[in-house]
Amino acid sequence: AQSVTQPDIHITVSEGASLELRCNYSYGATPYLFWYVQSPGQGLQLLLKYFSGDTLVQGIKGFEAEFKRSQSSFNLRKPSVHWSDAAEYFCAVGRGFKTIFGAGTRLFVKA
């Protein structure tokens, strides 16, 4: 069955430090992969998506993600975190006409 696993429920990083959020997926075919961010009280915003081609994908707000088929992973990275990045981050895989989301990783940023 198709699924998405985000191993870290929450992560705390210092402002200015680098960030990596982990995502593993289970999918029988070539996956369509996404990262979304959700700020408190708001809907989800797409950060980036991967369909094919270059395995390193650039997104908005300085985020990037790398697709590694051999590891079934699609980890999200940012070289320098800002306080405004504190939010919930969701990895997702597209399957047919629906999107399957992971449980999310809450990012806390400390000064």
Partner 1 sequence: DAGVTQSPTHLIKTRGQHVTLRCSPISGHKSVSWYQQVLGQGPQFIFQYYEKEERGRGNFPDRFSARQFPNYSSELNVNALLLGDSALYLCASSLDGDRTDTQYFGPGTRLTVL
> Residues in the site for partner 1, rule: CB under 8 A?
4, 32, 36, 41-46, 49, 51, 90, 92, 94-104
- CB-nearer residue toward partner 1: 97 or 111: 97
Task: Give the 3-state DSSP-derived string for the chain, with helices as H, strands as E and coil as C.
Answer: CCEEECCCCEEEEECCCCEEECCEEECCCCCEEEEEEECCCCCEEEEEEECCCCCEEECHHHCEEEEEHHHCEEEEEECCCCHHHCEEEEEEEEECCEEEECCCEEEEEEC
Q: Shortest distance, CB of residue 16 to partner 1, whole angstroms?
A: 28
- CB-nearer residue toward partner 1: 17 or 46: 46
Q: Shortest distance, CB of residue 80 to partner 1, whole angstroms?
A: 26
Give yes or no for a contact between 82 and 109, defined as CB atoms under 8 angstroms apart.
yes
Q: Shortest distance, CB of residue 91 to partner 1, whole angstroms?
A: 9
- CB-nearer residue toward partner 1: 82 or 98: 98
- CB-nearer residue toward partner 1: 30 or 80: 30
Q: Shortest distance, CB of residue 92 to partner 1, whole angstroms?
A: 8
